Structure 1
Amino acid sequence: MAETMTRAQRLDRLPFTRKHTKLLVGSGVGWALDAMDVGLISFVMAALGAQWGLAPDMLGYIAMIGFVGMAVGASLGGWFADRIGRRNVFALTLVVYGIATGASALVPGPEGIGIMAAVAILATLRFFVGLGLGAELPVASTLVSEYAPKAIRGRVIVGLEAFWAVGWIMAALLGYFLIPVSEDGWRWALGVGIVPTLYALYVRFGLPESVRYLEKQGRVEEAEAAVRSYEEAAGVQAVPSPDQGASANTGTESIWSPQYRVRTAALWIVWFCINLSYYGAFIWIPSILVGRGFPLVRSFGFTLVITLAQLPGYAVAAWLIEVWGRRITLSVFLLGSAISAGLFGFAPTETLIIVFGCMLSFFNLGAWGALYAVGPELYPTGVRGTGTGAAAGFGRIASIITTSPWFVPVLLAAGGVALPFSVFGVAFLVAAGAALLLPEQRATALAA
């Protein structure tokens, strides 16, 4: 009798092929465009603060409303991905935030409509930008996780998350070379954001739908064709698979059921703390440096150098996550982030600002890579998108807090740069402890 394997098992046994590379890069480009948009707003804020004469509290509103959109988008995006497909939601999110970002470049200046109206229009568009951004990230990581071979799944997802650094570097380059050139420099930078709308067409027709999702929907022939295309790319012979239609799983699991509630709570804590500290630091660093007396171009240059340290952070995390495992790697990188945040807050010289900023960038982004690898592994197919999206949505609440005019600006006024970065350090420590409560999923198959 011929050996039978589920389609998920057939995917797990494969080596990494050109098909996997196409999926990783195709999803990663969308991820990089996402990061570019998030990163750009920090440079746009610094430019608008100088050009429009906006106070830190007004800049905080602009940043905060984007994260309100991200919180809503992350929660809805994961839920919809479990119901209408990973690929469809991925493409839709690119369209939403691409159009909204492009429209942001056309916002009238305060000289024509008044400062409050200009800020209100920009903030409204930032909400829709956030809506698309927030939904895209957990959906993309879920899709790639469901195709990656289990032996290297964590490494593949850290590789996907590394595209975030590419996008943030693109934002830093635009901020450094384009925004300071003219008064309309920030508009040209935001105008680049229309690119995701065009890229969405490729996502919709060029990337595969999740095999596990197709099986849940009873679309067995499509699922079989997708698996066979990956087997052919690897030169591996297909084996029979039992029919796995919609009846294979009812999709009625809850991420708060007894078997998942501890991991869900721990994941939410990590997401909350890492969002609080990451966005609190990196959204405000250009403005903080300007506030310390550095010229706009010089502060953008510092930020660009600090951003480059994200790439080796991802590379080291990608290696360690299959050596140490997910839980320890995530916890260690969060601990390194805590130490780096404290050192950056007390850095007395330009050289140490750059050194400690690079350390923070290295450890923090390595932790992000490990976190995105962990999330999809914690839940079965029927609630995988919901689980990852809900955690991301809860984390965005921290992003709203940390980018609001009542948080970092207040802490800066009360205790200088040292106070907010000390708070960030404590949050990283809490996240490191919560990470130890997550189950270790290295080299295990994704739950059906």
Structure 2
Amino acid sequence: MSTITERLGNLPLGKFHWRLLLIMCLGWAFDAMDTGIISFVLPKLIATWKLSSAQVGFVGSVGLIGMALGAMLGGTIADYIGRKKVFAATLIIYSLGTGACGLSWNYESLLFFRFLVGFGLGGQLPVAITLMSEYSPTNYRGRMIVLLESAWAFGWLAASIISYLIIPKYGWEVAFYIGAIPALYVFYLWRAVPESAMFLMKKGQVDEAHALVSDIEKQLGVTQGQKPSLAEMQTAASAPAFSVLQLFSPQYIKRTACLWILWFCIVFSYYGIFLWLPTLLVKAGHDMVKSFEFVLWMTVAQIPGYFAAAALVDKIGRKATMASFLLGCAFTAYMFGSAVSVSDIYLWGCLMSFFNLGAWGILYTYTPELYPTEARSTGVGWAAGFGRIGGIAAPMVVAAMITGPDKIPLVFMMFTAVLVIAALDMIILGDETKQKALN
């Protein structure tokens, strides 16, 4: 007799999965859009509010502080009250927070609203990836999660387009107001997204979990499984609550260490590069509109990066794909830092973006696979939360290093070293999880 987990893992990929993926992708894209808008607003605020480099760095960092707390709390709470509730609540928080940024009357008020945005974003991402992982068939889970993460590129692309078209003509405030629109999406999301059947089983809600999976099986035209046995019900009902301290137990310490190093390095490089990129390009002598165009093309390059990772992650495995993308990003970051001509900036910037965001897709695939259902959101949330410390530090480190355009190569040499460390971490500490069933 198949368990609920086995029934879900053995399902054929079908309409239910693609519909859930699309719903999750829209939420993910809204996350990226609300995150990306601030990077395009910053050059305008520097001129309007006469902000120093340190102040600019802290605008990026305060959002990451919110994301760290949101990820840790959101992930932990989702293992107690469910994935769906936390997903909906955090969507409302970050959307309304982004709209409120448009009402900012000074630097301090903007910091407060950016913290709220970060808190909502940080809480949603680990929960969304956990829910999608728990519904994805085992043989397709890697590519499904990478495709979900690919929605980040489309959201950042939307932020680029909104900023490119809106900020020069209508001001930075309107760009933030547009970022509040996703709050309306929660009404549809609440009706359309099911709670995780694996979560329901762990909470002893066996009948609900069985009914959910039976309905999915019916939608996909496969033979419906039998109701869980008494033994399975007893096992589910007796599943103990997972403590955060268990992440450091002998059973999980190697996995936790591997993930926390990975998250720190990847988040550090991403936010250090992309939050500062428009400003760095302006400092290097390009005007604001031209810097937006650079970032727009680099954002477009993220999309094939995700698709390449999706194609490889279930074929050659998580370890080989992740290490390859991280080393590719390290090399292209070094080349981008020394690029002078417009064509070189486009080439190496697009390749850097290709590899960096492909690595992100693999990271989100890999993280939930290392923990059991009762610990999955907690494990993902705390790894993401620790990673945000890298994101908090990166904008401030870049701010301290940038004293003129001649320092830009040094900044990207630093990012190269960080990405090489991440690749070695995956090679040495990482366990392969390709096509392994969740538990």
Give 2:75's aligned amino acid.
G
Between the aligned partners of 2:283 and 2:416, the Cα distance in structure 1 is 22
Q: Is the 8 A contact 1:216 1:244 kept in 2?
A: no
The answer for the alignment partner of 1:435 in structure 2 is 426
The answer for the alignment partner of 1:411 in structure 2 is 401
Q: C-alpha displacement at 1:228, in angstroms?
A: 1.1
Between the aligned partners of 1:443 and 1:342, the Cα distance in structure 2 is 34
Q: What per-residue deviation string (whole Å, max 9, x for no partner) do you get for residues 379-433 of structure 1?
A: 00111000000000000001000122xx112212275111111111100000001
Q: C-alpha displacement at 1:202, in angstroms?
A: 2.1
Between the aligned partners of 2:431 and 2:239, the Cα distance in structure 1 is 23
Secondary structure class of the residue paired with 2:17: helix
Q: C-alpha displacement at 1:46, in angstroms?
A: 1.3
The answer for the alignment partner of 1:90 in structure 2 is 87
Q: Is the 8 A contact 1:255 1:379 kept in 2?
A: no
The answer for the alignment partner of 1:372 in structure 2 is 364
Q: Is the 8 A contact 1:76 1:389 kept in 2?
A: yes
Secondary structure class of the residue paired with 2:224: coil
The answer for the alignment partner of 2:36 in structure 1 is 39
In the comparison of the two structures, how many residue pairs are matched? Answer: 431
Q: C-alpha displacement at 1:312, in angstroms?
A: 0.2
Q: C-alpha displacement at 1:28, in angstroms?
A: 1.0
Question: In the alignment, is residue 336 of structure 1 matched against residue 328 of structure 2?
Answer: yes
Q: C-alpha displacement at 1:248, in angstroms?
A: 4.4
By percentage of residues, which structure has more helix?
Answer: 2
The answer for the alignment partner of 2:380 in structure 1 is 388
Between the aligned partners of 2:140 and 2:359, the Cα distance in structure 1 is 17
Give 1:49's aligned amino acid.
I
Q: Is the 8 A contact 2:265 2:390 kept in 1?
A: yes
Q: Is the 8 A contact 1:306 1:358 kept in 2?
A: yes
Between the aligned partners of 1:126 and 1:39, the Cα distance in structure 2 is 12
List alignment gaps of at least 5 residues for structure 2.
none
2:135 is matched with which residue: 144, 147, 160?
A: 147
1:179-194 to 2 correspondence within 5 Å? 179-182=167-170, 185-194=171-180
1:285 is matched with which residue: 273, 277, 283?
A: 277
Secondary structure class of the residue paired with 2:438: coil
Question: In the alignment, is residue 258 of structure 1 matched against residue 246 of structure 2?
Answer: no
2:211 is matched with which residue: 202, 222, 225?
A: 225
Question: In the alignment, is residue 302 of structure 1 matched against residue 294 of structure 2?
Answer: yes
The answer for the alignment partner of 2:162 in structure 1 is 174
Between the aligned partners of 2:376 and 2:271, the Cα distance in structure 1 is 25
Q: Is the 8 A contact 1:141 1:157 kept in 2?
A: yes
Question: In the alignment, is residue 50 of structure 1 matched against residue 39 of structure 2?
Answer: no
Secondary structure class of the residue paired with 1:255: helix
Between the aligned partners of 1:10 and 1:432, the Cα distance in structure 2 is 35
Give 2:249's aligned amino acid.
S
Between the aligned partners of 1:210 and 1:347, the Cα distance in structure 2 is 47
Between the aligned partners of 1:324 and 1:106, the Cα distance in structure 2 is 49
Question: In the alignment, is residue 362 of structure 1 matched against residue 351 of structure 2?
Answer: no
Between the aligned partners of 1:235 and 1:203, the Cα distance in structure 2 is 25
Q: C-alpha displacement at 1:17, in angstroms?
A: 1.2
Q: Is the 8 A contact 1:340 1:360 kept in 2?
A: yes
Give 1:306's aligned amino acid.
M
List alignment gaps of at least 5 residues for structure 1.
109-117
1:28 is matched with which residue: 25, 31, 38?
A: 25
Between the aligned partners of 2:284 and 2:242, the Cα distance in structure 1 is 53
Between the aligned partners of 1:252 and 1:385, the Cα distance in structure 2 is 10
Between the aligned partners of 1:332 and 1:244, the Cα distance in structure 2 is 43
Q: Is the 8 A contact 2:143 2:311 kept in 1?
A: yes
The answer for the alignment partner of 2:202 in structure 1 is 216
The answer for the alignment partner of 2:146 in structure 1 is 158
Q: What per-residue deviation string (whole Å, max 9, x for no partner) do you get for residues 277-332 of structure 1?
A: 11100110100111112111111011101110000000000000011101111111
Give 1:186's aligned amino acid.
W
Give 2:401's aligned amino acid.
L
Between the aligned partners of 2:256 and 2:191, the Cα distance in structure 1 is 33
Give 2:172's aligned amino acid.
W
Q: What per-residue deviation string (whole Å, max 9, x for no partner) do you get for residues 200-226 of structure 1?
A: 222222101001111111211211121
The answer for the alignment partner of 1:131 in structure 2 is 119
Give 1:67's aligned amino acid.
L
Give 1:149's aligned amino acid.
P
Question: In the alignment, is residue 422 of structure 1 matched against residue 409 of structure 2?
Answer: no
Secondary structure class of the residue paired with 1:106: coil
Give 2:338's aligned amino acid.
F
Q: Is the 8 A contact 1:97 1:196 kept in 2?
A: no
Between the aligned partners of 1:378 and 1:244, the Cα distance in structure 2 is 24
Moved over 6 A (4+): none
Question: In the alignment, is residue 75 of structure 1 matched against residue 72 of structure 2?
Answer: yes
Between the aligned partners of 2:68 and 2:319, the Cα distance in structure 1 is 25
Between the aligned partners of 1:444 and 1:192, the Cα distance in structure 2 is 41
1:247 is matched with which residue: 234, 237, 249?
A: 237
TM-score by length of 2: 0.96
Q: Is the 8 A contact 2:298 2:350 kept in 1?
A: yes
Between the aligned partners of 1:124 and 1:210, the Cα distance in structure 2 is 33
Q: C-alpha displacement at 1:51, in angstroms?
A: 2.4
